[in-house]
């Protein structure tokens, strides 16, 4: 499958790894929008939030526990952070392998543009 995030999981495209286990891979975003900008993805290819169902939803819960651990490890747990999932065209999704942005290290504005 021609998916850049599957290629990152497989090591075919280099990335700056932040965390890895048997189900999840996390790496620094190539174009950071904040001092901390980590992408957390399942190793399994799931296209978007629209593909989350009862069979794979425990994986999404696991991703949030991983985000929690990374936030603590990178020292943004006390200052706060944002976890973002963009879905579809209006949501601004550009890579069609589900991913969660973990953003922190500065005060983030709301609402998004």
Residues of this chain that interact with Zn ion (CB under 5 A) are: 3, 5-6, 45, 97
| Residue 108 contact partner, candidates ligand 5GP, Zn ion, none, CB within 5 to 8 A by sort of partner | none
45 counts as catalytic: no
> What tokens were used for 15?
């990335």
* Contacted entry of ligand 5GP, Zn ion, none for residue 94, CB cut-off 5 to 8 Å set by kind: ligand 5GP
Q: Which long-range contacts (CB under 8 A, 24 or more apart) does 85-93 make?
A: 85/49, 87/48, 87/49, 87/50, 88/48, 88/50, 93/48
Considering beta carbons, is residue 97 or 101 the nearer one to Zn ion? 97
Active site amino acids: 99
């Amino acid at each position: 499958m021609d998916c850049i995030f599957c290629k990152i999981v497989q090591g075919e495209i280099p990335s700056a790894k932040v965390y890895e286990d048997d189900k999840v891979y996390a790496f620094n975003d190539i174009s950071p929008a904040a001092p901390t900008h980590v992408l957390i993805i399942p190793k399994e290819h799931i296209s978007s939030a629209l593909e989350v169902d009862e069979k794979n939803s425990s994986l999404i819960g696991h991703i949030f526990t991983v985000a929690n651990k990374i936030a603590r490890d990178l020292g943004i747990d006390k200052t706060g952070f944002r976890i973002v999932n963009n879905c579809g065209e209006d949501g601004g999704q550009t890579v069609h392998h589900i991913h969660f942005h973990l953003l922190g290290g500065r005060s983030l504005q709301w609402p998004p543009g």
